[in-house]
Structure 1
Amino acid sequence: MRRFEGRVALVTAGAQGIGAAVARRLADEGASVVVTDLQEEKVAEVAAGIGEQALGLRLDVTSRDDVDAAVAAAVDRFGRLDVVVNNAGGCIVTSVPEDATAEEWHRQLDLTLVGASRCIQAALPHLVRTRGNVVTISSVNGLAAFGNIEYSAAKAGQIAMTVNYAARYGELGVRFNIVAPGTIRTPNWDNQPGTLERFSKMYPLGRVGEPEDIAAAVAFLASDDAAWITGHTLPVEGGVLTGPRGEMNLTPSGSFKKEYPGL
């Protein structure tokens, strides 16, 4: 498919994991892609791997000057901006909730929630011209209780922000949607051996997600296939929101296993 032929996308936190997979997927479907991240060398490698249709830039989403410069660079290089993928964020509060300081709360919200808002604000005039759209990577943490309270609050804030942007700018043809991943196999888990295997048992589909699972969902929502979808959250989470295995009795019964011996 070439759903993004002639279009330009900006992806934040694109040096690895979900962001890199999204950048590659959009480029594979014809987009010119501006890949941004704090990790300059890694983001340059991702852009080089995509080819001439990609530009790698350093971007700190907690800096409005950085965000404005990245959006301006995208338009200067490729002439327009059609899609923004807000992927930057992370769980940066290490305190237990009762001990989290106001400073820690501010840092978490500034990175994950306000950072996404900065990118939307800077890109919005260009998205109005192209009738473009924004896809923000939130989390199942914004939809249900999975711990990490400060991070979860920031992710829930992204969802509320997106609904309001969708209502406000729909008449101008700009769409805003959310992808809410479950656990995804990214380099963030590399120093926690065995964790993903343990988590996979919680998922009804029997595995954690891959970055490409999220990239496919982003490509759908950013494309004209989703032209009449705005203000929505698409969970991509292997069924964990139906009730995590190991915490609820959702294992198929013995009689079901007899009919399907492969289970």
Structure 2
Amino acid sequence: MSEPEETAAADTADTRPSGRVAIVTGGGTGIGRACALALSEAGWQMVVCGRRRELLDEVAEQCTSEVVAVTVDVSAPEQVDALFAAATDRFGRVDLLFNNAGMGTRPVPVDELPIADWMATVGVNLTGSWLCARAAFAQMKRQRPSGGRIINNGSVSAQTPRPHSSPYTATKHAITGLTKALSLEGRDHGITVGQIDIGNAESPLTAPMATGVPQADGSIRAEPLMDVDDVARAVLYMAELPADTNVLTMTVMANGMPLVGRG
């Protein structure tokens, strides 16, 4: 695979900025974009990454802090290593990883879903999150001062599945296990790990929910959506907690969506 491509929102080749530094994966659209903009507004310097160059450049241009855009496939180990090298080359350290990159599959019965779709979803949602966390641990251990924070994007599917969603649901349940294991492992190194489970944040991916999506009882019903900026505020809250405080798991969801109980 080719090496990640990099652009910067500002020309600072001769300077080494100081301050809080974040990496946001899947930062070109939806939740990742909203969180990148919120972090930038709060003064975070950032590397925003994803697969689509033009979308990343648009996000970088809208940020008010220094932001580097890097094209990355998080399921490729060598590209993840290059991503973190780009971050440390530019900013000198990494204080926050928002493990946001993810994908789903077509809502079809499990026996009709191509195996390649399963492999791709596991590659991005689970392996990609693990690879990025692995690289973050290595960097956060060796930097001075050491430590940092990782926020994994889980999903309400980490709690309750939707019909015909076995690859996505399985990976999001696995993210919960990953979060807990890494939270335990990070204690001795000042690395704090938490998870945010998001339900029905308005974005291009959730647009069909406004008109109708399959329910567990076989019906098709519209579901409420929430402003993606409310998710960004929640992520920013988690990101800016002091090092001795952690939100291990947070659920932020559109009020009225069919998650809590019947109807």
Q: CA deviation at 1:58?
A: 0.5
Q: 1:110 is paired with a residue of what secondary structure?
A: helix
Quote the sequence identity (%). 27
Moved over 6 A (4+): none
* Equivalent of 1:183 in 200, 220, 238: 200
* 2:167 matches 1:154: no
RMSD: 2.1
Q: CA deviation at 1:224?
A: 2.5
Alignment CA distance shift 1:67-1:44 (3 Å): same
**Who wins on radius of gyration, i.e. which is larger?**
1
Q: Is the 8 A contact 2:192 2:243 kept in 1?
A: no
Partner of 1:89: 102
Q: How many residues align?
A: 233
Q: 2:232 is paired with a residue of what secondary structure?
A: helix
Q: TM-score, normalised by structure 2?
A: 0.82
Give the structure with the larger strand fraction.
Answer: 2
The one-letter code sitting in structure 1 at the alignment partner of 2:121 is: Q
Write out per-residue CA displacement over residues 177-226 of structure 1, whole angstroms, 9 at most, x where no aligned residue.
Answer: 110000111122457773499211xxxxxxx1222121111111111257
Worse-superposed segment, 92-101 or 172-181: 92-101
* Equivalent of 2:254 in 226, 231, 238: 238
Q: 2:194 is paired with a residue of what secondary structure?
A: strand
Q: 1:224 is paired with a residue of what secondary structure?
A: coil
Residue segments in structure 1 that go unaligned for 5+ positions in a row: 201-207, 249-263
Q: TM-score, normalised by structure 1?
A: 0.82
Distance in 2 (CA, whole Å) between partners of 1:215 and 1:225 is 18
Q: Is the 8 A contact 1:82 1:126 kept in 2?
A: no
Q: 2:223 is paired with a residue of what secondary structure?
A: helix
Worse-superposed segment, 49-58 or 106-115: 49-58
Partner of 1:199: 223
Give the structure with the larger helix fraction.
Answer: 1
Alignment of 1:86-125 (within 5 A): 86-125=99-138
* Equivalent of 2:49 in 36, 49, 58: 36
Partner of 2:11: none
Q: Is the 8 A contact 1:166 1:174 kept in 2?
A: yes
* Equivalent of 1:45 in 54, 58, 69: 58
